[in-house]
């Protein structure tokens, strides 16, 4: 959604997508071509079949389009339409959303034997490598993300600063930092690849005078409720379930710290939204996270591995954050990740294609 908003401010945009919600506002905002209304599928054979089918349908959609530039967001392993668009003489741009092979590996390891999960994820990785090789340009959200995905070998066509924006009017400080309770939180899907199991182990080690709030829903919600039943009953842990995006600023303004333990992220929008609300971040030092979570300024990096060590680090970080840290977060979000700044970035990138 954010990428479309930025691109549409720079040029005309059409959207080719799959499994788009019937109520999605994207249908009204953009010319939309939906190649399938079916989800990916839970079983690997089903997912593989639909993966191939969708690529063929994208090829057909590309053939019917007049646009000169085709941007593949997230679907960087869709090698068939990438090569087909090349064959038609179109400019092909790839923009990864994170480390998809690693995310899929973590999900598949919970459902499949290790050798199958590993082989399938490596196959996706290989398709991505071929796609990057064939593309005319690659855009990453940050320099750290480019390095994490080992895209330096494509430096001549790599654009390292393709971050989007955060709505700094909607996401803003409401509750002064010094008036917030000792409350920490996580915002996002409660899913395997988000590092939720590790986060739960860490939360279980936090002192009893700290409250932790999980904002979101997902397949691990009931598991979290079971694992942290004692803490939930005592009021030290809360799971909100799904919330409307309009409520997220209010929730972020309750936190003294946003905690994220995923090891497969690109540059999570939630981190930028948190900073725009004046809420510092403590996160794993992966990919684009290291470009925005600046130790002692906008947050702290969580390098400790064991749950007790990580919990101890989070407590020390909580004590170290202050009104000055909160102000620094807000200033950073306004100056670097406003809508105007994102438009300027993409105007510069698109002018080179």
What pLDDT is stored for residue 169 in this prediction?
A: 93
Rg for the chain (alpha carbons), in Å? Answer: 21
How many whole angstroms separate alpha carbon 299 and alpha carbon 136? 36
Domains delineated in the chain: 2-165+338-350 (3.40.50), 177-336 (3.40.50.2000)
* pLDDT for 36: 80
Element (H, E) at 258: strand 257-260
| 229-238: long-range pairs with CB below 8 Å, 24+ | 231/203, 231/204, 234/208, 235/211, 236/206, 236/208, 236/210, 236/211, 236/212, 237/203, 237/211, 237/212, 237/213, 238/211, 238/212, 238/213, 238/214
CB 270 within 8 A of CB 260: yes
Helices within the chain (DSSP H only): 2-10, 26-29, 44-64, 79-87, 100-109, 114-134, 143-148, 196-203, 221-227, 229-233, 248-252, 269-276, 289-292, 307-320, 323-336, 339-350
Output DSSP code: residue 302: -
Q: For residue 19, is it left (φ>0), alpha (ψ between -120 and 50) or beta?
A: left
Calpha distance 37→88 (Å, rounded): 27
The confidence score (pLDDT) of residue 264 equals 78
CA 348 to chain centre: 23
- Contacts of 116 by beta carbon, 8 Å cutoff, 6+ apart: 44, 108
Instruction: Give helix 114-134 / helix 100-109 axis angle, nearest 10°.
Output: 170
Strand partners, 31: 14
Cα dihedral: 261, 262, 265, 267 (round 10): -20
Rounded to an integer, what distance in angstroms lies between the CA atom of residue 270 and that of residue 263? 15
At 21 the pLDDT is 80
b/e map 266-281, b = 16+ CB within 10 Å: bbbbbbbbbbbbbbbb
In the three-class reduction of DSSP (H, G, I as helix; E, B as strand; rest coil), residue 11 is classed as coil
Residue 236's pLDDT is what?
Answer: 96
Q: What angle do CA 11, 22, 102 make, to 5 degrees?
A: 75
> What is the mean pLDDT, run by run of 10 residues, along the chain of 353 residues?
87 85 80 79 80 92 92 91 96 91 84 88 94 96 90 95 90 95 96 92 96 96 96 96 94 96 84 96 90 91 91 93 94 92 92 90
Q: Are the CB atoms for 35 and 58 separated by under 8 Å?
A: yes
């Amino acid at each position: 959604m954010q990428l479309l908003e930025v691109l549409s401010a720079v040029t005309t945009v059409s959207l080719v997508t799959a499994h788009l919600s019937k109520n999605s506002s994207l249908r009204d905002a953009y010319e939309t071509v939906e190649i399938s209304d079916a989800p990916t599928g839970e079983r690997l054979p089903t997912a593989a079949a639909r993966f191939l089918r969708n690529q063929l349908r994208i090829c057909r959609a590309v053939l019917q389009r007049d646009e000169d530039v085709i941007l593949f967001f997230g679907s960087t392993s869709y090698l068939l339409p990438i090569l087909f668009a090349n064959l038609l003489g179109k400019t092909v741009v790839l923009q990864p959303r994170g480390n998809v092979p690693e995310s899929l590996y973590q999900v598949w390891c919970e459902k499949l034997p290790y050798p199958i999960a590993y082989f399938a994820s490596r196959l996706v990785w290989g398709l991505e490598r071929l796609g990057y090789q064939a593309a005319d340009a690659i855009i990453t959200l940050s320099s750290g993300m480019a390095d994490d995905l080992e895209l330096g070998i494509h430096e001549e066509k790599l654009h390292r600063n393709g971050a989007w924006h955060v709505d700094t009017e909607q996401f803003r400080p409401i509750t002064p930092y010094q008036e917030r309770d000792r409350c920490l939180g996580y915002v996002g899907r409660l899913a395997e690849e988000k590092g939720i199991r590790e986060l739960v182990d860490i939360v279980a080690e936090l002192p009893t005078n700290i409250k932790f709030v999980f904002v979101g829903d997902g397949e691990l919600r009931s598991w979290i409720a079971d694992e942290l039943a004692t803490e939930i009953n005592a009021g030290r842990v809360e799971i909100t379930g799904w919330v409307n995006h309009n409520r997220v600023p209010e929730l972020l303004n309750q936190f003294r710290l946003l905690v994220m333990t995923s090891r497969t992220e690109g540059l999570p929008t939630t981190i930028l939204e948190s900073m725009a609300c004046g809420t510092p971040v403590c996160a794993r030092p992966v990919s684009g996270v290291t470009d925005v979570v600046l130790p002692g300024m906008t947050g702290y990096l969580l390098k400790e591995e064991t749950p007790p060590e990580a919990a101890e680090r989070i407590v020390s970080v909580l004590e170290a954050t202050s009104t000055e840290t909160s102000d620094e977060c807000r200033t950073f979000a306004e100056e670097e990740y406003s809508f105007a700044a994102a438009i300027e970035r993409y105007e510069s990138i698109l002018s080179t294609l």
